[in-house]
A and B are shown apart, each in its own frame.
Chain A
Amino acid sequence: MNFSPNSPFMYVICGIVILFVIAQSIFFLVRALRQAKVLKMDQKMIRRTISASAIFTIAPALAILIGVISLSQFLGLPLPWLRLSVLGALTYELPAAQSAASAMNLHSTSELVTDPVTFSAISWVMTLGILSGIVVVLFGLRKIQKGVVSIQEKDSSKGTLLTDSLFLGMISAFSGLLFADIRSGLPGFIPLAVALVSMVCMGLCGLLIRKAGWQWLEQYALPLCMLCGMAAAIPLTSWMGGV
C-alpha cells in the first residue's frame, strides 16, 4: 500500500483522537460550570475566567502552530497536528522524532519521511516517550491529593508553605532560565530584557487595578503583559543583535 504522511487515513486517525480530546475538555468544562453554580460562585467572574483564559491561550497556541508547521516538513501535517494538540509539547516532540529517526539511520529532519517503517518507529517513540506523566496521573493522582490534604489538615501553616513553595519552585526555575545565555554576550540578555518589559507592564497594570479601580483588568493583565513583552522582543532583538 502506498504510504504518505499526509494521506487521508492519517488525517482520519489523528482527527478521531483530537475529537476525543475536545470531548473530554467539553465534559470537564460543563461539570465545572455546574459545580460553580452549586457553590454559588459569581457567574460574571466565571465568564471573565473563560474569556481571559481564551485570550491568554492565543499567543502560545500560535507558537505551537509554528511548531506544527516546522515538524510538518519532516512528518507531514497530521501527526504533528495530533502530537502538539495532545499530551506532548514542542520541547519534547522534536527531540523524540530526531531520536527515533537517528535510530532508524535517518539523520536529516528537513525532508519528508517516505518510508512507512521509519514513520511508524517515529510515531511509536513519540507516543511512548511521554506517557509517564499521564500514567502516574491515572494510578497515583488520588494518593498525591490525599497526601497534600493530610499535610494541610495536620498543620495548616505547613500546608500553605508547601503550596507556596511549589508555586515558587516553578517561578524560580523558569526565571533562572532567563539568565542561561547571558555569558554569551549582548544577545544573551534578550530574554532578560523581554522579561523586564513584561514585568514593568505588570507593575503598571497592578497600579491601575489598585489605584484607578480597574478591577476588570485583573484577569486580562497577564495575557496583555505577555503580548507587550513579545512585541518588545522584536525591536529588542534587532537592537541587541539577536538576528
Chain B
Amino acid sequence: MASTKRSVPQAMTYEDSVHLWGRIWTASAIFMFLMVPLAISVRYQAFPPFQDVLKGLLGVAPVFWTVGIIEVLTYAPMLGTGGTYLAFVTGSLSTLKVPCALNAMEGAGAKAGTEEAEVISTIAIATSSLVTTLVIALGVFGIRFLQPVLENPGLKPAFDAIMPALMGALGLVYISKNWKLAIAPLLFMICLFLLMPSLSSSVGILVPVGAIIAYVAGRLMQRGRKD
C-alpha cells in the first residue's frame, strides 16, 4: 500500500502570528473608521457632494498621504512588527508613540530589530495607547473641571514646549551615542530650517532625507576606514 504523506503544518512563529493578527485588526480598524462618517451621513440623511469632499481632501491629502507613506517606511524598522500595527491605528506617532517606544527600548537595552526590542516596543506602544485613551476619556467626561486648568494661559507655554522638551533629552541620548554619524544630517537640517522656516509644517517628509544623509555619511566613513 502506497504510504500517503501528510504535510504537517509548521507552528507559526511569533512574528508570523503578529502579522496575521495585525492585518486582521488593521483591516477591521480601517472598516470601523470609515463607518463613522458613513453612519453620520446615513443617520442625518446628510451625504455631502462628492466634489466638496474632494476639494477638502485636496487641501490635506497630498501632504498627509505622502507623510503617512514616509512614516511607515521610516518608523516600521524602529518600532518592530506589533508596535507598527498598533501605532498606526492609534496615531500621534512622532510626538508620542515613537519616542515612547525608543525610550523603552533604550531603558531595556534592547536593540531595534531584535526579538526583545519587538516585545518591548509593543508593550510601550500598547501602554501608551491605553493611557492616552484613558486621559482623553477622563478629560472629555470631566471637561467642566479640567477646561479652566488646561486652558490656563499660564500653562500654555509648557504645553507648547512638549516637542522641544522631548527632542532636547532624546537628542542628547541618540546624538551622543553616534555623534559622528549625527553631524551631517543635523547640520543640514539646522541650515535648512534657518533658510526655510516654512518647512516646519512638513517636518515628517524631512525625516527620510535626514536618514539618507546619515546613511551616505556612514558609508563614506566605513569606506574611509577600509582605505
CB-CB under 8 A from B96, the residues of chain A are: 57, 60-61, 64
B33 and A144 contact, CB distance less than 8 A? no
* Interface size counted on chain B using CB atoms at 8 A: 157
Given A66-B150, A127-B34, A21-B90 contact (CB < 8 Å): yes
Given A28-B86, A84-B136, A120-B37 contact (CB < 8 Å): yes
Q: Does any Cβ of A come within 8 Å of B107's Cβ? A: yes
Q: Does any Cβ of B come within 8 Å of A137's Cβ? A: yes
A218 and B44 contact, CB distance less than 8 A? no
Bound together, the chains give a CA A124 to CA B40 distance in angstroms of 10
**Nearest 7 pairs between A and B by C-beta?**
A176-B189, A229-B165, A169-B211, A99-B59, A133-B68, A198-B168, A195-B168
A88 and B59 contact, CB distance less than 8 A? no
CB-CB under 8 A from B113, the residues of chain A are: 148-149, 152, 159, 163
Within 8 A of B (CB), among A26-77: 26-29, 31-33, 35-36, 38-39, 41, 45-46, 48-50, 52-54, 56-66, 68-69, 72, 77
Contact with B along A93-132 (1 / 0, CB 8 A): 0011011111110000000000011111111110111111
* Interface size counted on chain A using CB atoms at 8 A: 157
B100 and A53 contact, CB distance less than 8 A? yes
B53 and A138 contact, CB distance less than 8 A? no
Bound together, the chains give a CA A71 to CA B78 distance in angstroms of 32
CB-CB under 8 A from A50, the residues of chain B are: 123, 127
Bound together, the chains give a CA A13 to CA B81 distance in angstroms of 29
B165 and A132 contact, CB distance less than 8 A? no
Which residue of chain B is the closest to A236 with respect to CB atoms?
A: B157
Bound together, the chains give a CA A71 to CA B22 distance in angstroms of 31
Bound together, the chains give a CA A86 to CA B135 distance in angstroms of 13
B162 and A87 contact, CB distance less than 8 A? no
Given A52-B103, A57-B96, A125-B60, A87-B33 contact (CB < 8 Å): yes
B57 and A172 contact, CB distance less than 8 A? no
Which residue of chain B is the closest to A88 with respect to CB atoms?
A: B91
CB-CB under 8 A from B146, the residues of chain A are: 65, 69
Bound together, the chains give a CA A198 to CA B203 distance in angstroms of 21
Bound together, the chains give a CA A170 to CA B90 distance in angstroms of 20
Bound together, the chains give a CA A233 to CA B157 distance in angstroms of 6
B200 and A141 contact, CB distance less than 8 A? no
B53 and A103 contact, CB distance less than 8 A? yes
Q: Does any Cβ of A come within 8 Å of B159's Cβ? A: yes
Bound together, the chains give a CA A26 to CA B148 distance in angstroms of 32
Q: Which applies to chain B's interface (DSSP): helix, strand, loop or mixed?
A: helix
Given A62-B135, A137-B26, A243-B157, A28-B211 contact (CB < 8 Å): no
Bound together, the chains give a CA A170 to CA B136 distance in angstroms of 27
CB-CB under 8 A from B156, the residues of chain A are: 243
A144 and B119 contact, CB distance less than 8 A? no
CB-CB under 8 A from A223, the residues of chain B are: 103
Bound together, the chains give a CA A213 to CA B201 distance in angstroms of 41
Within 8 A of A (CB), among B24-74: 25-30, 32-37, 39-41, 43-49, 52-53, 55-61, 64-69, 71-74
Q: Does any Cβ of B come within 8 Å of A134's Cβ? A: yes
- 13 further contact pairs, Cβ within 8 A, besides A102-B56, A176-B188, A194-B168: A21-B129, A25-B90, A52-B103, A53-B124, A53-B128, A54-B128, A125-B56, A131-B65, A171-B167, A183-B197, A194-B165, A202-B168, A229-B161
Within 8 A of A (CB), among B69-118: 69, 71-78, 81-82, 84-86, 88-96, 98-100, 102-104, 106-108, 111-113, 115-116, 118
CB-CB under 8 A from B214, the residues of chain A are: 164-165, 168-169, 172
- Name the one of B28, B72, B119, B147 contacting A69, with C-beta atoms under 8 angstroms: B147
A60 and B85 contact, CB distance less than 8 A? no
CB-CB under 8 A from B12, the residues of chain A are: none
Bound together, the chains give a CA A100 to CA B58 distance in angstroms of 9
Bound together, the chains give a CA A182 to CA B163 distance in angstroms of 16
